[in-house]
Amino acid sequence: MSKPDLIAIEHDEYHAKHLGQLSDGRQFFLTTPFVPAIGGKAGREFLALFLFDEDGKFLEARIDDLGTRADLDQKRASSIYEQRLAGLGEVEFCRIEVQPFEIEQFGTTFGLVPRPPEEDDVWAVEMQPGNYMAFFEPWDSGDYDT
């Protein structure tokens, strides 16, 4: 068992609803990471568009800070989400295969972040922040845990 070079993510109607391929061959994933509201902290909501080349190499992230969960303006958040999606042009919603990556923005780590095994554990790749999608071997299955 080892750290993956690529993670497959199968298109679905849940967390992987808006991912696929752009007309120029690049791959994309539009998602909603979050920092949970725990321990007296307000938490935060984000909108993230991750772009990858045809081979799955991470290219860029466009991340919007939507504010705290308690103060989230759902209408504004939906509008930004729809603008990001429309800005992609013609897309095909389909399975993607992309490299794990991580970046820092707003003082927070974002990405498909590899987590090495601890003791009897196994490698995982987690969508951060929020750890709302976790991937395990086989890396090409396209399946994730929530």
List pLDDT tens digits, range 41-89: 889 999 999 999 999 999 999 999 999 988 999 999 999 999 999 999 9
| Token code pair at residue 139 | 């890396």
Region of residue 131 (left: phi > 0; alpha: psi -120 to 50; beta: else): left
Q: Residue 132 to residues 32, 83, 101, 139, 145: CA-CA distances in angstroms?
A: 9, 23, 16, 17, 8
Please tell me the predicted confidence (pLDDT) of residue 126.
97
- Torsion of Cα atoms, 63 then 80 then 65 then 6, to 10°: -30
pLDDT digits (tens, 9 = 90+) for 97-116: 999 999 999 999 999 999 99
For residues 19 and 103, give the distance between their C-alpha atoms in angstroms, rounded to a whole number: 19
pLDDT digits (tens, 9 = 90+) for 114-123: 999 988 889 9
Please, what sign has the CA dihedral across residues 56, 31, 127, 103? Answer: positive
Does residue 20 surpass a pLDDT of 80? yes
Between residues 140 and 41, which one has the greater pLDDT? 140
Cβ 115 vs Cβ 100: under 8 Å:
no
pTM beyond cutoff 0.85: yes
Cβ 110 vs Cβ 63: under 8 Å:
yes
Which pLDDT band, with edges at 50, 70 and 90, does 1 fall under?
A: low
Instruction: Show the CA angle centred on residue 143, arms to residues 129 and 29, nearest 5°.
Output: 50
